[in-house]
Structure 1
Amino acid sequence: MTLRTLAVLAISIGSAWTAGPTHAQGFVFGTDAPKDQAAAPAGARSAKVETAQRLLARMGLYRETPTGTLTPATQEAIRAFAAQNGLAPTNQVTDPLLNAIRRVIWQTQKWAGGNYKGREKLVDAAGLREAQILLGKLGFDAGPLDGTFGPQTQVAAEAFQESQKVTVDGLITATVLMNLRRAVNGVGASAKSTVRVLNWPDYIEPGVLQDFEKETGIRVVYDIFANAGDLEAKLRNTAAPYDVVFPTANSVPALATQGLLAKLDKPSLKNLANLDPRVDATLRSWDKDGAYSLPYMWYTVGIAWNPKLTERAYPGHAMDTLTSVFDAETARRFKSCGIGVVDSATDVVPLAAMAGGQPRWSGKASINAASQVLDKLSGTVKVIPTDQFIDALASGKICVAIGFSGDAVQAQSKSRGAVEYRVPSDGGLLAIDAMATPANAKNRREAHLFIDYLLRPQVIARVSNTVGYANANLKAGEFMNDSIKANPAVVPSATSLSRSSPIPILSEQDQRDIERLWSKFAK
């Protein structure tokens, strides 16, 4: 993808203080009218203040949860930014200040390279151009319709995300493009009501969302979370509560105990009988009474690799064991072609504990075993963000990794069969991602209609065909592609399943210990 030259960027930056919308890739945010200089009333919530807080947090100057309220900590962060960048002292949020913050972020945090801190998230040039067109139709000025990612496209994407009250990063990802398409072509302003959905990345069939909107007249606002910690943070801190979330089942007990989940109204679900009782029984290993959750997809956690690359790096090595990633000497052999683990501590740490001699989770002993394993891998094994794992495998940026079976299947498809996946011969994990409703959900009727829609065999089969995960629906098989339901990475053999332990239920202390361990390993 061709990016704008530094010279053009410099021109747009130089004119950003006074440029209007015709300077399409400059930093333009609203207008610079005198009235904009006024401070928000004391204690009032302001979207502009919340934007400033979020941007300042990216720079490490603001360390509280963005609230939109001009707090003393916010004013101190503004003053620090102004001092660091040679601006006139201020403790108020104005359009010129926001433009200046965005310029600094663009220059220092790799936005100009199409990513944020090295984390590539953009769609291709054709997708970018489509997004620019769609943003324009929605009234957001994304700059020239040229398929390049410039400052104005970033600002427009950020403004769209803010209008949806979803995660704001200003990037044109597959999820953002999906949301833009529905915002333009879906029910939009004519919607009778709304359901806000929070799911893992790359974990839905976009057409399912659009068809649900057409059938019900309910607008779907769709957001993603990166890992279990991110999910919990969004359940606690979001200004716009979600209505349906997709936690991994082993985290359901803790979320329920903390008052973050509500019990499901199962009698209202007309399609409940479609669930496979065997999968539902397995889910009750975690949610004992099945009160808070229903199964969405099930999967294993194991090893994915590119045979051509790994054979070149370590000829003759058997790839289907935990040692391929968790043995320090073996990992160093694969460093040249890229070795990693998915950014999901609650999945990876139990496997590391297995590799360290703890076949069953036992709290502190397992934490200690995992810590000894991971300490030796620091600097060799990468932590791969969940929304990049598939592309990293498919493109050959990594040659071996610990991750989810369904992601490996998607990587297989994208790489035309260049990726293989196995449940490790010395132990893997079996997990279920669940459907649940948050305790603070505002649209409970719509949430249950959405869940019930996903319980239809034809609907959930479409999701499985897209995401490469096995579903829990008894009747869905006849609607699934043979290439999916016959793939051992999707539905493992009985032998592979016998080697897979249910992902453990983690106590609050376990979660704190894992978070500390992961923070140290992932830095």
Structure 2
Amino acid sequence: MKIRTLALLAALTGGGLMAGTVQAQGFVFGTGQPPADAAPAPAGARNAKVETAQRLLARLGLLRETPSGSLTPATQEAIRVFLAQNKLPASSQVNDGLLNSLRRVIWQTQNWSSGNYKGREKLVDAQGLREAQILLGKLDYNAGPLDGTFGPQTQVATEAFQESQGVTVDGLITATVLMNLRRAVNGAGASAKETVRVLNWPDYIDAGVLQDFEKENNIRVVYDIFTSNDDLQARLRAGGTPYDVVFPTANAVPAMAAKGLLGKLDKASLKNLGNIDPRVDATLRAWDKDGSYSLPYMWYTVGIAWNPKLTAKAYPGHAMDSLGNVFDPETARRFQSCGVGVVDSASDVMPLAAIAGGQAKWNGKNSVNAASQVLERLKGIVKVIPTDQYIDALASGKICVAIGFSGDAVQAQAKSRGTVEYRVPTEGGLLAIDAMAVPANAKNRRAAHLFIDYLMRPQVIAKISNSVGFANANLKAGEFMSESIKSNPAVVPSTASLSRSSPIPILSEQDQQDIAQAWGRFSK
């Protein structure tokens, strides 16, 4: 993929931040000088440009408060600091010149100039980028040349689209953004009279299901993603427009309910409640004891995935279904050349690390300490793979062995045409359920329950399972699932494998704090 480099940008700008007006990939950088007739945003009033400036200032670490669109004293101070740091003329005005200067600094300093990257991993390829550029154009967002190159104009157009959708704004083109672009071009929910806001894990829905729900109910689905249970809780605590349906991992439900983040479900309004498998629902009660706050969406195991071709070269004849392949440093080093990793989900990985460290059953601080000691020995050997990049890392062969979710391994199998294997580890794996829940501050509880009820239809949840590779909790869905999915041991493990799997433990507040600290030391 062609990359707009910082050197090119510097050449275009003459090496200075404010060296005139420059066009790169269709994006016109401002001079930073406010137009003579520009009016300052009034203090206390909500203003779209102020909100955008606040978001950009926050990305630069200059503003700590939640973007509100109001020109607060903290925002004014952040603007003053930004202008001073970059030797720009002092101004109290929030205008296009300031926004373009903010975007330019972010472009130059935060890896934008390296392409469509989050960290160091490319999120979509050139073909996906070009499709996104075309779709953005159809929606009247100028994404610059349709060349599959991620430049400033594509970033800005993507941010504008995300803002219009009411979803997380980061300017990156992920699979979810591409899905939402396709849905928008197809007129998804265009004539709907109401909206349901959904917050889910990456790669965890079928786009057709969203569109069918919108058509049937005349309710627009605003679809956003989170990357961890901590991220989910932070979103629910933050200001802004509330979400109506969320999908926490079941072991996170008790703490979220205790913090007042979840509301009780109106199960009497759910016509398809009887389709839930009572065995899965009973397992869910290991976390949500009364079943008041959650219903099962998908269930899965946390175990080990690998690429047999790559691991056979790195360690010929070695059995791959052991935790030691990742958690034993001497063994992990054998796979370092082809990539060994863990998914970036501390609450899923730490209990397995504790098992590898001799703690067969979760025991609070003792287990955290055991897991921490295991992870400490792996620093510099084992990579931490973001949840929204795990599937592609496995499928593309960037990682040859990793700890992660069974359903993600199934999606990687499909993308790699069968070159990925997955097993519950011989020492034991984890059994987990992702739940459907309604936040306590949901604005549209009626639509939330309609959406949850829709997902409990056998044909609907089967379509999702076929798409995402996770087992569902619906008694009647089997006849609508593809044989390749329901017969895959990574989707539905054998009885013996399940007997070695224990439910993901409920983590106390202290556990969560200790895990966050240990994970921070390991992943930085």
Q: Which residue of 2 aligns with 1:305?
A: 306
Moved more, 423-432 or 331-340: 331-340
Alignment of 1:99-498 (within 5 A): 99-116=100-117, 118-498=119-499
Does residue 40 in structure 1 map to residue 41 in structure 2? Answer: yes
1:142 is displaced (CA, Å) by 1.4
Does residue 77 in structure 1 map to residue 78 in structure 2? Answer: yes
Indicate the percent of aligned positions where both proteins have the same amino acid.
Answer: 77
Measured against aligned partners, the alpha-carbon deviations of 1:56-95 in whole angstroms (never above 9, x if no partner) come to: 3333333343333333333333233222222123454332
Moved more, 74-83 or 293-302: 74-83
Moved more, 87-96 or 210-219: 87-96
1:231 is displaced (CA, Å) by 0.3
Report the CA distance shift for 1:285/1:61 in structure 2 as closer, same or farther (over 3 A). Answer: same
Q: Distance in 2 between matches of 1:77 and 1:333?
A: 48
Amino acid at match of 2:267: K
Q: Is the 8 A contact 1:245 1:438 kept in 2?
A: yes
Measured against aligned partners, the alpha-carbon deviations of 1:26-68 in whole angstroms (never above 9, x if no partner) come to: 34799965454x3322233333233223223333333343333
Report the CA distance shift for 1:251/1:445 in structure 2 as closer, same or farther (over 3 A). Answer: same
Q: Is the 8 A contact 1:16 1:99 kept in 2?
A: no
Q: Which residue of 2 aligns with 1:2?
A: 2
Report the CA distance shift for 1:332/1:74 in structure 2 as closer, same or farther (over 3 A). Answer: farther
Q: Distance in 2 between matches of 1:360 and 1:29?
A: 61
Q: Which residue of 2 aligns with 1:25?
A: 27
1:102 is displaced (CA, Å) by 1.1
Report the CA distance shift for 1:50/1:517 in structure 2 as closer, same or farther (over 3 A). Answer: farther
Measured against aligned partners, the alpha-carbon deviations of 1:176-210 in whole angstroms (never above 9, x if no partner) come to: 11111212213443112111000000000111111
Q: Is the 8 A contact 2:21 2:31 kept in 1?
A: no
1:505 is displaced (CA, Å) by 0.7
Report the CA distance shift for 1:147/1:411 in structure 2 as closer, same or farther (over 3 A). Answer: same
Secondary structure at the aligned position of 1:26 is classed as strand
1:11 is displaced (CA, Å) by 7.0
Q: Is the 8 A contact 2:265 2:438 kept in 1?
A: yes
Structure 2, unmatched stretches of 5+, are: none
Q: Distance in 1 between matches of 2:211 and 2:118?
A: 32
Q: Distance in 2 between matches of 1:307 and 1:337?
A: 11
Q: Distance in 1 between matches of 2:304 and 2:165?
A: 37
Q: Distance in 2 between matches of 1:474 and 1:192?
A: 33
Q: Distance in 2 between matches of 1:173 and 1:198?
A: 15
1:340 is displaced (CA, Å) by 0.9
Aligned-residue Cα RMSD (Å) equals 2.4
Q: Distance in 2 between matches of 1:28 and 1:403?
A: 45
Q: Is the 8 A contact 2:307 2:421 kept in 1?
A: yes
Q: Which residue of 2 aligns with 1:507?
A: 508
Q: Distance in 2 between matches of 1:305 and 1:40?
A: 55
Q: Is the 8 A contact 2:275 2:474 kept in 1?
A: yes
1:10 is displaced (CA, Å) by 5.0
1:522 is displaced (CA, Å) by 1.2
Q: Distance in 2 between matches of 1:122 and 1:343?
A: 16
Q: Is the 8 A contact 1:76 1:91 kept in 2?
A: no
Q: Distance in 2 between matches of 1:140 and 1:30?
A: 23
Report the TM-score, using the length of structure 2 for normalisation: 0.94
Report the CA distance shift for 1:264/1:106 in structure 2 as closer, same or farther (over 3 A). Answer: same
1:321 is displaced (CA, Å) by 1.1
Amino acid at match of 1:171: L
Q: Is the 8 A contact 1:121 1:172 kept in 2?
A: no
Measured against aligned partners, the alpha-carbon deviations of 1:390-410 in whole angstroms (never above 9, x if no partner) come to: 000111111111100000011
Report the TM-score, using the length of structure 1 for normalisation: 0.94
Q: Distance in 1 between matches of 2:373 and 2:439?
A: 36
Structure 1, unmatched stretches of 5+, are: none
Q: Is the 8 A contact 1:338 1:397 kept in 2?
A: yes
Report the CA distance shift for 1:31/1:82 in structure 2 as closer, same or farther (over 3 A). Answer: closer
Secondary structure at the aligned position of 1:191 is classed as coil
Report the CA distance shift for 1:13/1:155 in structure 2 as closer, same or farther (over 3 A). Answer: farther
Measured against aligned partners, the alpha-carbon deviations of 1:366-413 in whole angstroms (never above 9, x if no partner) come to: 111111111111122111110000000111111111100000011111
Aligned length: 522
Q: Distance in 2 between matches of 1:357 and 1:275?
A: 36
Secondary structure at the aligned position of 2:28 is classed as coil
